[in-house]
A and B are shown apart, each in its own frame.
Chain A
Amino acid sequence: MSNSEQSFYVKNCALAATATGERASSLLELRDKLVLIDEGCIYFHFWGARMTHQIVHTQHHNDFARWVHEQLHDHVLGERLSIIDPTEFDSLELLRQELVEAVERRLDDYQIMLWTKKEDRFHFVSSTIIVFESTLTIGNPDALLQVVPKLAPGSIYYHFIDARARTPERVDDFSVWLKQFGAKYDPLVEEIQSIDPYFLTLPQVKEELIQVINKFFKG
């Protein structure tokens, strides 16, 4: 492999969030909309919201789980939806089916239908991700030390969060790239993969990355 083939070309991204106008006020409505809604909404409410104004909610890792918990006060379904790991599904369509299945199973338990107030409805949001090249390149693993501290939040999102939805391995791009350099970097790969992005904001993910890289190279 030539040097240029081994280089990691850092990309950056931005997200344009769009309202679909679709809303749900009950679990039944949520199910009905989930069946029909554009896949972009599934992506946004699992992944994309991380690039918008939302904070990381440690209890619920996707917007569906949080709404069910906080607005419908259905804590059982909230926990079930929260544990769904989107990286286990090969497509957004399969992820959608899992969501629908979980909601329908819960609907079977319901004796009465829970509703929310008008201002607490679930709003389905979709998004367009815009991926563009940065001027940063990582030539070899050692260069991670210099380049990672320079990464913008959009680059962290693209290579660390979006990668899990985009790559066949369902892991971050850094791990996949490091694999080509042999077993020497396996401990670093393991450390990077053990960063759980569901509990961290993008700046926090970057800090964790810097820490594990520093630890690996500087001891």
Chain B
Amino acid sequence: MANLLELYKAVVGEDIIYELSQLARVLKGIKIVHINSTKVGGGVAEILSTMVQLTTSLGIETSWEVIEGSPEFFECTKQFHNAIQGYKSTILNPHHLKVYEDTNRSNADQFRAVIENADVVFVHDPQPAALISSFPNRKNKWVWRCHIDASDPNRATWKYLRNYIRQYDASIFSLVDFVQPMPHPIYLIPPSIDPLSEKNIELTPEQVQGVYSRFNIDPNRPVILQVSRFDSFKDPLGVIEAYSLAKKFKHGIQLVLAGGGAPDDPEGEKVLSAVKALAENDPDIHVLFLPSDSHRTINALQRAADIVLQKSLKEGFGLTVTEALWKGKCVIGGNCGGIRLQVINHHTGFVVNTPEGAAERIRFLLQTPHVMKEMGENGRRFVHDNFLTTRHLRDYLSLIISLIKPTNRRIEIHKIGLT
């Protein structure tokens, strides 16, 4: 485990690891448990996998439990997920709600010992949120971590879930814009990327260049890339329009639209068909429908690109933007969600509102490679300082201290140890 810290030290710097060790020493002896609904796949599992290992390697006993449920349970929680993100026509089905409550109760019984033994319990997203009701005499601190955009939820669903969430000692939202009022402290902790994961690890030039031949991309002409699901909120048609407008001035550019989609997502298939139809007469548009585990391929594509677009119309935090910035790429992003936090005009890229705006910025950047290079360097530094797993963990440890100590704007810990 100590070796893990060495690996991160090589990427984030000795001072950052030293800082984490100091903070962890303050919390020595406490036990943490994280609870979510999946061990693999999805951003939450990726973050937890690294977070748990790192916390443990810092000497804090940390465990990770995953709740189990029937397909009906996950159907219900998928509806919760969509409803929190603003899908207005969700209708709560009483049978589904009973399945949700029963499943949380049975999982609470299964994990009772580990939960009661922990000092701090982090519960991630709506799936396990109702666990708290099974611990009416709890002595430990419970924190609900919301990984999704709850700024404009379906009211009925939120009203139902809020009854559970309000019982927690604190909640965490990724952005201040995503927050819903609660009768407890609401912490703001943005997500992060793992610099050592398959998606972000350094690649050799050969690995990067491999994608050119694999996907028939010309390495001698500029590549514009958007990585996202084929989803109308990601506006792939707007990306093609921006590319077409920019191509009138920069004839050699190529566009790569890389992403996947759930096989049972009818909307995704419709969007993909529309994208293919629009792209079919232009050999310089490459539409890549990739399997969900194509992390290295995406990594190489991002590194091979000259400019990365994330022209979303609605976005959560936008970790694909973080990934691109980490790889030193200038990003042109839609004016929404966490993109606004990461893409700073003239510093790490440009925020745009229309395909026309995106086209104009593509032209500007291709015309001024020195600006593009400087902004790329800014972006990598920006992510290094703010959006890596190590910062995420520091925020979690800070939260725990502020929860355990009496509330005060300034907590002075004069001796190592909380007492």
Contacts and interface: CB of A to CB of B under 8 A. Distances in A.
Interface string A50-88: 001101000000000000000000000000000000000
A154 B23 CA distance: 10
A151 B409 contact: no
Interface in B1-52: 14-16, 18-19, 22-23, 26
A39 B13 CA distance: 34
B44 to A, nearest CB: 19
Given A16-B187, A16-B395, A128-B409, A21 B181 contact: yes
Given A19-B176, A130-B398, A133-B415, A154 B186 contact: no
Contacts of A119: 177, 336
Nearest to A134: B22
Main secondary structure of the interface of A (DSSP, over half): strand
Interface in B151-203: 173, 176-177, 179, 181, 185-190
B410 A128 contact: yes
B416 interface: yes
B401 interface: yes
Nearest to A48: B409
**Chain A interface bracket (under 10, 10 to 19, 20 to 34, 35 or more):** 35 or more
Interface residues of B, number: 48
Contacts of B216: none
A53 B413 contact: no
B188 A14 contact: no
A152 B22 contact: yes
15 contacts: A16-B401, A17-B187, A21-B179, A21-B181, A21-B186, A43-B409, A119-B177, A119-B336, A123-B176, A125-B176, A128-B407, A128-B409, A130-B398, A132-B26, A150-B18
**Residue with the greatest number of chain B CB neighbours at <10 A, chosen from A12, A15, A18, A43:** A18
A151 B19 CA distance: 9
B19 A12 contact: yes
Interface stretch (B89-97, B268-276, B354-362, B379-387): B379-387
Given A16-B395, A53-B387, A128-B398, 11 more contacts: A14-B397, A16-B187, A19-B173, A21-B179, A40-B409, A128-B411, A129-B409, A129-B410, A130-B398, A130-B402, A131-B410
Contacts of B185: 18
- 7 tightest A-B CB contacts, nearest first: A152-B19, A14-B398, A123-B176, A53-B386, A16-B402, A19-B186, A16-B398
Contacts of A127: 409
Nearest to A21: B181
Contacts of A131: 410-413
B363 interface: no
B409 A15 contact: no
A135 interface: yes
A187 interface: no
A202 interface: yes
B250 interface: no
